[in-house]
Structure 1
């Protein structure tokens, strides 16, 4: 409902979106599937928050996974799970036109899958400058 209201007020920009994840150390819940050993924090237990935002930085979709999971595992579930956003006349928006991501999402098969969904991927390649300022 919040996304519908933001779109009605012309506050959402579906021309491009950004996806990224951040690792958070877990203080409790070691037996939970949403907690796992961090590959970058000396195997301390933690979780990853994955966020898909619009061009203005407004969160469109969020997921939580164990800290040991690759970022790429949440790319398609976040994009496909975006609910239809109403608020204006016409067909509701279901996807951004362009998706920006950092090198954690660098896999050609996922670029193809995004193109099949009508989304232009702008994903940084390992070992090459991105050009957009993303890491």
Structure 2
């Protein structure tokens, strides 16, 4: 007998997550949770991490320092 799944198949869960992300449901839930935690003085930011890889650079943004070629011209062939 197959194991019973409480939340549907993996594909169903994936589709629901995709649809919720597209409808910004997850973002709104996150914002509501943060607001409730702040209101109850239960938000501990001492372990917060800011990861710049998740921040969009509108209109391309500035080029990061060190990006691009490290030298002038082409690298020598190794073959």
What TM-score do you get using the length of structure 1 for normalisation? 0.18
Higher strand share: 1
Higher helix share: 2
The one of the two structures with greater contact order (alpha-carbon pairs below 8 A, sep at least 6) is 1
Decide which structure has the larger Cα Rg and report it. 2
